[in-house]
Structure 1
Amino acid sequence: MIKLTMLSSAEKVKGQGVASAYRELVNLVSEHLSDKFDLSINTFRKSDITHYHTVDFHFYLSTFFKKKRGVRVGYVHFLPETLEGSLKLPKIARAVFYKYLISFYNRMDQIVVVNSSFIPKLEQHGVASEKIHYIPNFVSKKTFYPMKNEAKQEVRKKYHIDSDKFVVLGVGQVQHRKGVLDFIEVARALPEIEFVWAGGFSFGKITAGYAELKEIYDNPPENVKFIGIVDRTEMNACFNMADVFFMPSYNELFPMAILEAMSADVPVLVRDLDLYKDILTGYYDSATDNQGFIQKLRELKEDHSAYNKLVQMARSGAEYYSEERLTRIWDEFYHQLVKE
């Protein structure tokens, strides 16, 4: 049996996708590969493989004990450029952290990225290409799935949303990078549609643009609800109360929320970004600006044929990024590391 240790502090901060990706992988190994892997969480025992999910400093120090760690695998959920616009840090602190982040990745024997478009960016930061592997995120159908209409209506009642409203859901930390201001502008142009944002200020006042965003968060337009950070156990219900998942982010890696929406049969509308094209083409619709978003949402509300087509695309995406498929990929990847 292979001794696999996972190190992560992701779940200490609620409302971030890194924690969701970590929890899905832990559950996958525990439920489907327990006969092959002896899994330990946040221990420093002697292992065949140590999988680093977060970049904590004490985890960094542990990398110097190579014999005890075995093969050191780093999970890349963000790069320096993807953090721009997320946190408000002094220039010196930001430069030091970015240098530390790349140093952490270089300490790894193998690197896993969740989006293939970030392989060349890691190479530009000096990470050797031969040790970078692409394995996408996934979600379990046990956690995210379509609910019956009666259950959906109960969720709407909980959040004081009329049963006949067309509902657009946004998910993520309240940050400029997530396109929250665009979400609000689009909502103002579509007063007949209800807009809901699930997420909050996971990093408090060090969030970039906190004062401006907090003012909007506390005083949204009449057709916008900010429901705060929602526990992951309740997020399936949030997706199911929505007609469309709308993500106007400017920068992402591989958002768990998109997979969660697709798994719940909720159609997806995102900003037209190159990073989605390698991983999600055929499973979503997109626009380049707010006028485009407004036009797309109006069409989805009024054209049942267009709406149903996008639902089918979401279902296809959920099938491709299924837990079953990713179980085989992770099983093969871990075993190959031990063979080498």
Structure 2
Amino acid sequence: MIKITMFSSADKVKGQGVGSAYLELLAMLKKYFSKEFSIKINNYKAADISHYHTVDPMFYLSTFFWNRGVKLGYVHFLPETLEGSVKLVPFIQRIFNWYVMSFYKRMDHLVVVNPSFIEKLVALGVSEEKVTYIPNFVSPKVFYEATAEEKQNWRKEASLSEKDFVVLGVGQIQQRKGIDDFVQLAIQNPAIQFIWAGGFSFGKITDGYEKYQKIYENPPANLHFTGIVDRDEIVKYYNMADLFLLPSYNELFPMSILEAFNCGTPVMLRNLELYDSILKETFITADDIDEMQQKLDELVEQPEKLHAFQEKSRQAAEKYSEKNCAAQWLEFYTELASKNK
């Protein structure tokens, strides 16, 4: 049995994708591989593999311990992807950026959730041979396509009618997520119901916190901010929505997109190059807010166009299924452990 220690504090802060990805991986490993892997959490006893999910200073110090086995880092973000998320004094930001890359370079191997970031890591001084791509995934038991009756009941609970066209956004309220465009679209489309599920996971250090807090407290009449929603509740919002819209400017592989796919919800995303290698032709694409408005008009007038993208979401959910990703993790962990021995 391979001994794996997970180092993570990701689940301490609600409403962030890193925590969701960590919890999904833990649940999957316990579900499929309880006989193959012995998993400990934040334990400093000897291990075959030490899998680091977050870059806590204590975890960094542990990389110097002799008993850590193969040190594996999970790259959920790069310094550039934090721009527009957290506001730090420039000097502190530079130190943090250096620290993050120092942490990654302490690893024997890295896993990225988007292959486009391999090249960026190499440019930052990481050997390409040390990087492996394994996509994110979500549990089909937690995120699933509900029945028509369930969707209808959930809409009633949320004071929505069957005829309402509902656009859902999910994520932290921050500039990087494109929240400004989401709010503006709500203003431009008073007949459409907009819901943003998420809040301020990083509190007052969120970039633009004061501005977004005012919007959060006084949104347009047709825009509802739910605040941070538990995972077993947010599935209802995906199923209530006619369209999932994430106008984000920078991502790796958002868990929210996979959650929408699993619920069979059509997806619209900003046209970003980083999606090309993982999500090509699975979503409605828009270059900017003007094109988002144009596509939204088309879908409201011709809702039957959503059917094709419902099917694309289902197909993408199958491609990035828990079962498929489980096989990749089994092979990957087994190979790492054999190298260590």
Note whether the superposition's TM-score is higher than 0.5: yes
Identity of aligned residues (%): 54
Shift of 1:295: 1.4
Given that 1:301 and 1:307 are in contact with CA atoms closer than 8 Å, whether structure 2 keeps it comes out as no
Q: In structure 2, what is the equivalent of residue 300 of structure 1?
A: 299
CA distance, structure 1, for counterparts of residue 97 and residue 22 of structure 2: 22
Which residue does the alignment assign to 2:228?
Answer: 229
- Which residue in the other structure is 1:24 paired with? 24
Aligned match of 1:60 = 60
The structural deviation recorded for 1:123 is 1.0
Detail structure 1 runs of 4+ shifted over 6 Å in the superposition: none
Kept in 2, the 8 Å contact 1:4–1:40? The answer is yes
Q: Which residue of 1 aligns with 2:180?
A: 181
Partner of 1:249: 248
- In structure 2, the partner of 1:147 is 146
Matched, 1:34 2:34: yes
Question: For the residues of structure 2 that align with 1:216 and 1:305, how far apart are their CA atoms?
Answer: 33
> In the alignment, residue 220 of structure 1 is paired with which amino acid?
P
Deviation at 1:157, TM superposition (A): 2.8
Structure 1 residues 156-175: aligned runs within 5 Å: 156-175=155-174
Amino acid at match of 2:304: S
| Aligned residue identity for 1:152 | K
Q: Which amino acid aligns with 1:192?
A: A
- SS of the residue corresponding to residue 144 of structure 2 reads coil
Number of the residue aligned with 1:260: 259
| 3-state SS in 1 of match to 2:311 | helix
CA deviation map 1:41-69 (0-9, x unaligned):
1211210001000000000000001x311
| Cα contact 2:271–2:285 (8 A) shared by 1 | yes
Shift of residue 162 of structure 1? 2.5
Letter in 2 for 1:5: T
Q: Which amino acid aligns with 2:28?
A: L
Contact 2:142 2:231 (8 Å CA) reproduced: no
> CA offsets, 1:260-297, max 9 Å, x none?
00000001000000001110012111100111111112
Equivalent-residue separation in structure 2 for 1:100 and 1:238 (angstroms):
37
Contact 2:7-2:41 within 8 A present in 1 as well: yes
For residues 204 and 87 of structure 2, the distance between their equivalents in structure 1, rounded to whole angstroms, comes to: 8
5+ residue gaps, structure 1, are: none
CA RMSD of aligned residues (A): 1.0
1:2 Cα deviation (Å)?
0.5
Equivalence for 1:6? 6
Paired residue secondary structure (1:68): coil
Match of 1:72? 71
Distance 2:183 2:40 in 1: 43
Residue type of the alignment partner of 1:36: E
> TM-score, with normalisation over the residues of structure 2?
0.97
Query: Which AA in structure 2 matches 1:9?
Result: S
